[in-house]
Structure 1
Amino acid sequence: MAVLLGYVPTPQGEAAFARALQEAALRSTTLVVINSARTGALVDPALADDAELARLRAAADAAGVLVEIRQPVAEHGSAADELIDASAEEGVDLLVIGLRRRSAVGKFVLGSSAQRVLMEAHTPVLAVKA
């Protein structure tokens, strides 16, 4: 069993991390954190740096939760694809994502990765607002 988290170092990502950590502790399971860059990007503000990753590990240790952190660089897909694919892995029971507020026009014009994850994930999804 595992709780899967789509993490970005933003207020929304922090709120999602806190809830995913809580869920993993309640379920006595591993927390798998996916912090993915955009397609082919090696430098991306969505990627957490070493200090940020160390902080996440320390928080998980303090909560008594085993954490696995992955930072894949999507070759042909998106962060949403990474989460959708990972949600199909055996043992993933819950996927947690953070949401940011967007207008209806913004959602229509730009699309919504969160919406794709909500609709296509292979497990239940918990969407958290900051």
Structure 2
Amino acid sequence: MRIVVGFLRSPEGRAALQRAVEEARLRDAELLVVHSFRGGPRENEAEIVAYREEFERLEQQLASEGVRYRLREYVRGNAPDEDLLQVAKDEDADLIVIGLRRRSPVGKLVLGSNAQDILLQADCPVLAVKASEPAEA
């Protein structure tokens, strides 16, 4: 079994990754973690370095926890949802895990282009998770 998850440094991305790791353990599955950069002049070099450092820490964490995994990093001009869907298709994934943002009533009319595209176009089941609510002071 293969589980695909995108790598994002947002609370939603972290929630999706955590749940994907839990699912991989539960199902004795291989975890495919996909990180996608569009590339080009819009990319901030400091942001790229921060992502890569966190991606390396993730690899160390997964190795130490004994989770079977592969990390994929793409810089080919695609939107993140395109890369995630392509990896899921190429690898014959059994499950995709995505994070969803909490939305205002108006924002609920449109789920969000990446999440919506994945939900509508995926050839396999999609598990959508939300990040926990921030603690109030």
Q: Answer yes or no: same fold by TM over 0.5.
A: yes
User: What is the distance in 2 between the residues matched to 1:72 and 1:19?
Assistant: 22
User: What is the distance in 1 between the residues matched to 2:37 and 2:52?
Assistant: 15
RMSD of aligned alpha carbons? 2.6
User: What is the distance in 2 between the residues matched to 1:47 and 1:101?
Assistant: 28
1:49-60 paired onto structure 2 within 5 Å? 49-60=51-62
User: Aligned residues: percent identity?
Assistant: 43
Distance 1:118 1:71, change over 3 A: same
Is 1:122 matched up with 2:123? Answer: yes
User: What is the distance in 1 between the residues matched to 2:41 and 2:24?
Assistant: 30
1:60 is paired with a residue whose SS is helix
Q: Which runs of 5+ in 1 are unaligned?
A: none
For each residue in 1:3-26, what CA deviation from the matched residue of structure 2 results, as whole angstroms up to 9, or x when unmatched? 100121111111111110111111
> Do 1:99 and 1:129's aligned partners in 2 also have CA atoms closer than 8 Å?
yes
In the TM superposition, residue 40 of structure 1 has moved relative to its aligned partner by 4.3
> Do 1:8 and 1:47's aligned partners in 2 also have CA atoms closer than 8 Å?
no
User: What is the distance in 1 between the residues matched to 2:118 and 2:41?
Assistant: 21
In the TM superposition, residue 128 of structure 1 has moved relative to its aligned partner by 0.9
Q: Which range is displaced more, 82-91 or 10-19?
A: 82-91
For each residue in 1:24-63, what CA deviation from the matched residue of structure 2 results, as whole angstroms up to 9, or x when unmatched? 1112121111111236467255886232012211221232
User: What is the distance in 1 between the residues matched to 2:67 and 2:34?
Assistant: 16
1:95-110 paired onto structure 2 within 5 Å? 95-106=96-107
Aligned counterpart, 2:43:
43
Q: Which runs of 5+ in 2 are unaligned?
A: 132-137
1:103 is paired with a residue whose SS is coil
1:96 is paired with a residue whose SS is strand
Q: TM-score, normalised by structure 1?
A: 0.82
- Which letter maps to 2:84? L
Q: TM-score, normalised by structure 2?
A: 0.79
User: What is the distance in 2 between the residues matched to 1:23 and 1:109?
Assistant: 28
Number of residues of Structure 1 aligned to a counterpart in Structure 2: 129
- Which letter maps to 2:8? V
In the TM superposition, residue 103 of structure 1 has moved relative to its aligned partner by 3.0
